[in-house]
């Protein structure tokens, strides 16, 4: 199932996990059969998504490797198989602009995981003006499997949607990334509902609605590009604002801003939004 790469409103599709081949015949590896290394413990997981986005395979490859600050968070890859990848991972496939894969065992900063790996396969569509992406996130959870899997699935869909927005509206532009989270009180069950109302979003405002948001630092004219009980995405002329209802997963709410403006001020942005969150949940 393909999303609408221009509007970014389509949701990434679901596929049954397993070993498959792309139309070009390249095999797609899976970690679902892995035991997570010596003394393997925990239960495997696999999240598979397919979507189409605006831009050529080369442009999508750049978004996945050097442009991640525009839609996820800044990450770096050493451009070779066996090179260093994000989060202490190792690049297991570097085949631009066709396939990118990386793997890490016992990843730092990801408690409850014994193995984590990402596998991306890219193919051209519409004469190379668009690209098809197969995204496979797999590994081994050692904690509460159901809760971890539910959170990973929901975050995957939101992140890939944001990738579609980036490719359609901001691809290749310099970006400044800011991220922060609310105080402990923002872990409350109603915390994300309170955030949406504090922004001034009507309860019934959904994807595609144009809104004037009561944002940190002043009003913001934006389009709601994503809205669910877990996430809110706002697209303005020079920014993508992402709001994370991580209170549903036992953590504080989060905010990230991808600022493509010529005068982006990450420190000022972070201070303003932290003050906004602290006052909201203070």
pLDDT of residue 152: 95
CB proximity list for 236: less than 8 A, separation 6 or greater = 220, 221, 222, 223
How many CB atoms neighbour CB 274 within 10 A? Answer: 17
For the chain of 282 residues, list the mean pLDDT of each consecutive stretch of 10: 34 39 41 43 94 98 98 97 96 98 84 89 98 97 92 97 98 97 98 97 93 94 98 98 96 98 94 97 96
Cβ 274 vs Cβ 254: under 8 Å:
no
- Please tell me the distance from the alpha carbon of residue 211 to that of residue 59, in angstroms, as a whole number: 30
Residue 77 structure tokens: 């890859």
Counting residues of the chain whose pLDDT is more than 70, the rounded percentage is 85
Mean pLDDT over each residue of the chain, to the nearest integer: 88
- Token pair belonging to 106: 């016992």
The reported pLDDT for the residue numbered 22 is 39
Distance CA 173, CA 179 (A): 19
């Amino acid at each position: 199932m393909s999303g609408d790469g221009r509007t970014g409103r389509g949701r990434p599709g679901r596929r049954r996990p397993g070993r498959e081949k792309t139309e070009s015949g390249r095999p797609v590896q899976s970690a679902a059969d892995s035991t997570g290394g010596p003394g393997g413990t925990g239960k495997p997981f696999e999240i598979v998504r397919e979507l189409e986005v605006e831009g050529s395979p080369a442009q999508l490859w750049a978004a996945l490797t050097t442009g991640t600050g525009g839609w996820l968070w800044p990450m770096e890859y050493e451009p070779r198989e066996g090179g260093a990848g994000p989060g202490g991972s190792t690049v297991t496939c570097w085949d631009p602009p066709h396939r990118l894969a990386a793997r890490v065992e016992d990843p730092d900063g990801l408690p409850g995981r014994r193995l984590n790996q990402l596998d991306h396969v890219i193919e051209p569509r519409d004469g190379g003006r668009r690209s098809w992406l197969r995204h496979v996130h797999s590994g081994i959870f050692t904690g509460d499997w159901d809760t971890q899997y539910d959170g990973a699935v929901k975050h995957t869909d939101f992140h890939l949607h944001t990738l579609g927005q980036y490719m359609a509206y901001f691809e290749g532009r310099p970006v400044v990334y800011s991220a922060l989270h609310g105080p402990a009180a923002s872990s409350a069950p109603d915390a994300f509902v309170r955030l949406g109302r504090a922004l001034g979003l009507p309860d019934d405002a959904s994807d595609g609605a144009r809104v004037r948001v009561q944002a940190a630092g002043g009003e913001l004219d934006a389009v709601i590009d994503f809205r669910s009980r877990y996430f809110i995405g706002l697209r303005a002329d020079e920014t993508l604002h992402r709001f994370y209802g991580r209170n549903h997963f036992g953590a504080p709410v989060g905010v990230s801003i991808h600022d493509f403006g010529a005068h982006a001020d990450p420190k000022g942005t972070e201070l303003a939004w932290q003050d906004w969150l602290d006052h909201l949940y203070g």
